[in-house]
Amino acid sequence: MNRDMEKEMRMQVFEKLAEYRYEQLVFCHDKATGLRAIIAIHDTTLGPALGGCRMYPYATEEEAMVDVLRLARGMTYKAAASGLNLGGGKSVIIADPRTDKSEALFRSFGRYIETLAGRYIVAEDVGTSTEDANFIRVETSHVVGVDVTRGGSGDPSPLTALGVRQGMRACAEAVFGTTSLEDRVVAVQGIGHVGYHLCRLLHEEGASLIVTDVDAAAVERAVREFGAKAVELDEILTIPCDIFAPCALGAVLNDATIPELRCSIVAGSANNVLAESHHGEALSERGILYAPDYVINAGGLINVADELEGYNERRAVNRVMRIEDTIRRVIAISRRDGVPTNIAADTLALERIAAISSMERLHTGHPYGQLRRRRETI
Ligand code: NAD
């Protein structure tokens, strides 16, 4: 590689970092263990950057870098909107989780995290587990999501579901004038870890459930335990209901599905529910209130972040309950600014960061246009 090519590559990375004001990008390589990892720290204004480590056999280094940068920035917004004193970060290990895991690999990665002296705190993500976090923990204390016997917070799904229920209450208040979910009809897509606990909580509140899942056993269980009505996979999007709760896949709200919806509220745990940012506007135009995914599904993050203070379940539950208020604030900003709720969520996050840092830099130009541009690629 000649000098010009080297310079161009460096420029490309720094241009990428400059575009959304990333603070730091760390490439980790260990020949002995085969470790190839990237840690991205987006913003530490509110506190150390916390975010999971994704293990995936990315086809190219570029793909891995784009993914880790995008995910790290998303964590900044999620932590800020959730009221956590944490910044946004994420990491990726370029490897196949089915074949490439070893104690040595995760301990090697743990040593890299330790070199960052707490600027980045790692957690589990797609492709990594509590067992992997335990190996990382041998080398660094800057890890959450470890085994419960080592101070870990355990399965986050029940608290994620609790947060979604709380968010639904705030939405119900805005749309129906009461936080009560009694007799509301809720259509839940995906009865997995979060979906099951959500159905349980809603059943306890006296809501009527409509469910679907590719897993027939999960559907049967919801029918048996909660008297849910089972429908076909596609039907869940078009069935008349008060609340549609996506708890399975991303991008379920798109050009094809939004016109078909027959609900008043969309509130579920799934990540990246909107195929694209402008679909928030499409929902708003249809008069459907959308609870932004990263705000309403933050219960798991709030729960795992509690480990940093010595995990206390009661405190974690209390913090997750506040998602109701956070969604209320998002709805208030949406009405104040005349913007869709997904944009209002970004505003909530950015306003908090700006207030803490007094950084006018986050608010250059026309706020709505800037926020829309920033959000589009999260
Ligand atoms: P999960 O894998 O346990 O459950 C997902 C369920 O969806 C499974 O039962 C699966 O069979 C079902 N499913 C898959 N394809 C489907 C389809 N086409 N139609 C209907 N059902 C389908 O996952 P989870 O942990 O319950 O998470 C659910 C969603 O919430 C994911 O998008 C996840 O990223 C998000 N989330 C989860 C947490 C958490 O604490 N687990 C936290 C934040 C966000």
Q: What is the pLDDT along the chain (378 residues), one digit of tens a residue?
A: 456 555 555 558 888 899 889 999 999 999 999 999 999 999 999 999 999 999 999 999 999 999 999 999 999 999 999 999 999 999 999 999 999 999 999 999 999 999 999 999 999 999 999 999 999 999 999 999 999 999 999 999 999 999 999 999 999 999 999 999 999 999 999 999 999 999 999 999 999 999 999 999 999 999 999 999 999 999 999 999 999 999 999 999 999 999 999 999 999 999 999 999 999 999 999 999 999 999 999 999 999 999 999 999 999 999 999 999 999 999 999 999 999 999 999 999 999 999 998 644 544 444 443 443 343 333
Instruction: Specify the residue with its C-alpha closest to ligand 1, atom 33.
Output: 270
Sheet holding 243-246, edge to edge: 229-230, 208-212, 185-189, 243-246, 265-266, 289-290
- Coil, strand or helix at 215: coil
pTM: 0.91
Are 341 and 289 in contact by the 8 Å Cβ rule? The answer is yes
CA 157 to centroid of ligand 1, rounded, Å: 10
Cα end-to-end distance, the chain, whole Å: 33
Question: Active-site residue numbers?
Answer: 90
Element (H, E) at 55: strand 49-56
Find out whether the beta carbon of 189 lies less than 6 Å from any atom of ligand 1: yes
Bridge partners for 210 per DSSP? 187, 229
Do 124 and 55 form a contact (C-beta atoms < 8 A)? no
Q: How far apart are CA 214 and CA 237, in angstroms?
A: 14
* Residue to mutate (ligand 1; options 128, 162, 194; most atoms within 8 A of CB): 194
State the DSSP code for 365. S
In this structure, the strands spanning 243-246 and 265-266 are: parallel
Structure tokens at 221: 């269980």
The answer to whether the CB of 181 is under 6 A from ligand 1 is no
CA of 301 to the centre of ligand 1 (A): 16
251 bridge partner residues: none
* 3-state SS, residue 100: coil
